[in-house]
């Protein structure tokens, strides 16, 4: 495998691995682009599960989520939080990881200042993106298997942008009913997709996850890229 390069000076026009400069050191990252004619004026940043449990940007749910967004017309950026993969730093319980996300957001906005910014995450990554969606003025948010009950959701500022939650009804790591009860308690709840007969990692249902996300977000997509 070709070693990642330092930060590109412009958004790469093909699948590219590189290092972003993060607050605790280099962050391993992968960008990719939507192909014409479906390309839209938007870029999605996708965040991975908890690195303490082996989560990285190469997780199968993360890569399927990235694929669904790219096939919908968005350019994408995945990156490893501090201490995951080749990224520098130590695990910081969502606080330092939020600053890693800030570095990724800053890079995308520098490279693509006119793009809509979408945030997406799986498990712990969905907690970090929700924790920061208002801060970064996200234009859309996608939360896959949000770990309600494992992290504090009570004090989070909730976004007003379009927001999708996808939850497996047989999740063995996050209690599904806790997620459903939390959503029911919100004044402005997200769009919820309940996927039966699948657990936290959507085994044997990854293609269904891809289709569900693409169908749910199609009316939220930004204008075509010129």
pLDDT digits (tens, 9 = 90+) for 176-193: 999 999 999 999 999 999
Specify the DSSP class assigned to residue 135: T
**Whole-angstrom Cα distance, residue 180 to residue 89?**
34
**Whole-angstrom Cα distance, residue 41 to residue 177?**
36
Enumerate the domain spans of the chain: 16-217
Band (1; pLDDT cuts 50, 70, 90): very low
Q: Which of 89, 72, 85, 27 is nearest to 225 (CA)?
A: 72
Per-residue pLDDT at 170 exceeds 60 = yes
pLDDT in tens, 80-136: 999 999 999 999 999 999 999 999 999 999 999 999 999 999 999 999 999 999 999
Could you please state the CATH topology (level 3) that the domain comprising 16-217 is classified under.
Rossmann fold (3.40.50)
Band (163; pLDDT cuts 50, 70, 90): very high
**Whole-angstrom Cα distance, residue 48 to residue 51?**
8
- For 30, phi then psi, to 5°, come to -135, 130
47 and 27 Cβ atoms separated by less than 8 Å: no
Q: Which of 87, 79, 75 is nearest to 111 (CA)?
A: 75
189 and 161 Cβ atoms separated by less than 8 Å: no
Task: Name the residue with tokens 């919820």.
Answer: 192
CB-facing half-sphere around the CA of 48: CA atoms within 13 A: 27
The predicted model scores a pTM of 0.96
pLDDT for position 5: 77
Q: Which residues are CB-contacts of 152 (< 8 A; sequence separation ≥ 6)?
A: none
């Amino acid at each position: 495998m070709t070693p990642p390069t330092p930060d590109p000076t412009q958004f790469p026009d093909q699948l590219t691995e590189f290092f972003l400069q993060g607050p605790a050191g280099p962050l391993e990252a992968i960008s990719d682009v939507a192909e014409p004619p479906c390309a839209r004026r938007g870029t999605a940043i996708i965040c991975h599960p908890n690195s303490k449990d082996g989560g990285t940007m190469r997780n199968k749910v993360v890569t399927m989520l990235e694929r669904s967004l790219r096939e919908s017309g968005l350019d994408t950026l995945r990156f490893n939080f501090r201490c995951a993969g080749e990224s520098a730093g130590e695990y910081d319980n969502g606080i330092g990881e939020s600053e890693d996300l800030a570095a990724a957001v800053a890079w995308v906005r520098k490279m693509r200042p006119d793009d809509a910014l979408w945030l997406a995450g799986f498990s712990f990554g969905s907690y970090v993106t929700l924790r920061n969606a208002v801060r970064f003025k996200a234009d859309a948010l996608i939360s896959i298997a949000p770990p309600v009950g494992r992290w504090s959701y009570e004090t989070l500022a909730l976004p007003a942008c379009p927001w999708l939650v996808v939850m497996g009804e047989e999740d063995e790591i996050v209690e599904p009913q806790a997620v459903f009860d939390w959503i029911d308690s919100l004044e402005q709840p997200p769009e919820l997709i309940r996927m039966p007969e699948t657990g936290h990692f959507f085994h044997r249902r990854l293609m269904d996850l891809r289709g569900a996300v693409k169908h749910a977000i199609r009316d939220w997509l930004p204008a075509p890229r010129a």
